[in-house]
Chain A
């Protein structure tokens, strides 16, 4: 029963194979098997969003998905957000707008914000707050995070 399973998937655009136990979550698979430690563990109950990755473009708490469920999916993690050395506008704005303090929640916020902007390039403040409600930050009071997403949206729209 404990035999490991081979999972063929795509991670950050790269076809990837990995071996995992069925009981290993996608988060464990990313961190402990593949060494992609950018996705963070905060609660293991889907309440903090620090482990958010995109699965076929949708935001998912990777702590609440099994590694074996990644078969045939396209996974995007924070490590895949920039294109080479070209930061995603969200990353750039998070830096410029001082949107992170300790930074542990940052990867999750970036991925949730990317999922939002990919579907809704011009969100209102209320839409941003709704889309980020599954990500907890305890340092910033969210103010500068929300502003960075607004500003990134502006950049991406060429405004």
Chain B
């Protein structure tokens, strides 16, 4: 690995100053579970690593019934899984965080890191898309909020500008009878990158769908929403048949490729299956809320 400097600021301001100080060659390190591998493979060669794990607001999980959730971007996945609040209000996002790598990885990796690494196959991204998450970004020019669906610009790239970092993930409070679910397809039962991931968030009004969002992973250059599938469901009863149809519509949003992890043909098929299952799972939970 190349040589680099390491700083561990304790405030966002310090972090922003450090990041802005070293041109394009400074990088945030949070869990490091993607970054250190990229550095070992010489894919990234930052001259400065800014460790943000010591910044209190980046480690916070707080929920307010009106304002919703503030989730520190550096909170390790395992703490998300151990949070009652997360299980109660965002079970789908919580299960996505609990699917990343092994427990060893979850002890380090964060949702902020997963977001900023911007892999098309990131497990938490479809779940964040489904719950309408917003990235709170702080940089030299101040603070801005970017919805996750506008965050990614391509495989491994995003809207972050020089000196900027994602400080928190903001998620609106779930409406009554709302719940989310995330499901992925991997050939093994753990320790894999999703061949396809599907997140769904459903709000029910009686037995009809009042609102729905569907996020998909590993089927396009970035994690994407499947708006047609979601719109189709509005006003309908969510059952095997409508979920199946929504799955078919989700397939139309996907533009998967062949790679070492799966074929385009297989991915296209599985998008439908997982969308259906995620929707049915979210609806099942929503009925109990």
Contact = CB atoms under 8 A, between A and B. Distances in A.
Determine whether A and B are in direct contact in the complex, meaning some CB atoms lie less than 8 angstroms apart.
Answer: yes
Interface of A: 1-2, 5, 21-23, 25, 44-47, 49, 52, 55, 58-61, 63-66, 68-69, 71, 112, 115, 130-131, 133-135
Contacts of A64: 31-33, 36-37, 104-105, 108
Top-4 shortest CB links A-B: A134-B102, A133-B190, A58-B107, A22-B6
Contacts of A135: 102
B6 A66 contact: yes
B191 interface: yes
Interface in B13-65: 29, 31-33, 36-37, 40, 47, 49, 51, 53
B37 A134 contact: no
Nearest to A1: B3
Given A25-B36, A64-B36, A64-B108, A134 B101 contact: yes
Nearest to B35: A64
Given A133-B189, A133-B191, A46 B102 contact: yes
26 contacts: A1-B47, A2-B3, A22-B3, A22-B5, A22-B49, A23-B4, A44-B37, A44-B40, A46-B101, A59-B103, A59-B104, A61-B33, A61-B104, A64-B32, A64-B105, A65-B108, A66-B49, A69-B51, A133-B102, A133-B189, A134-B101, A134-B102, A134-B103, A134-B104, A134-B105, A135-B102
A120 B33 CA distance: 25
Contact of B105 (A2, A46, A71): A46
Contacts of A71: 8
B55 to A, nearest CB: 14
Contacts of B102: 46, 49, 61, 133-135
Contacts of A66: 6, 29, 32, 36, 49
B110 to A, nearest CB: 13
B104 A60 contact: yes
Contacts of A58: 78, 103, 107
Nearest to B107: A58
Contacts of A45: 37, 40
Interface residues of B, number: 29
Contact of A112 (B3, B36, B104): B104
B2 interface: yes
B141 interface: no
B1 interface: yes
Given A49-B102, A69-B51, A59 B107 contact: yes
B191 A134 contact: yes
A23 B46 CA distance: 11
Contacts of B4: 1, 22-23
A64 B6 CA distance: 15
A60 B190 contact: no
Contacts of A49: 102, 104
A69 B37 CA distance: 16
A114 to B, nearest CB: 12
A65 B36 CA distance: 8
A76 B5 CA distance: 26
B6 A60 contact: no
Interface in B70-111: 78, 101-105, 107-108
Given A64-B33, A134-B102, A23 B107 contact: no
B105 A61 contact: yes
B6 A5 contact: yes
A91 B180 CA distance: 42
A45 B38 CA distance: 9
Nearest to B39: A23
A67 to B, nearest CB: 10
A28 to B, nearest CB: 10
A55 B5 contact: no
Nearest to A45: B37
Contacts of A63: 36
A126 to B, nearest CB: 10
Given A47-B191, A66-B36, A134-B102, A60 B108 contact: yes
B26 to A, nearest CB: 13
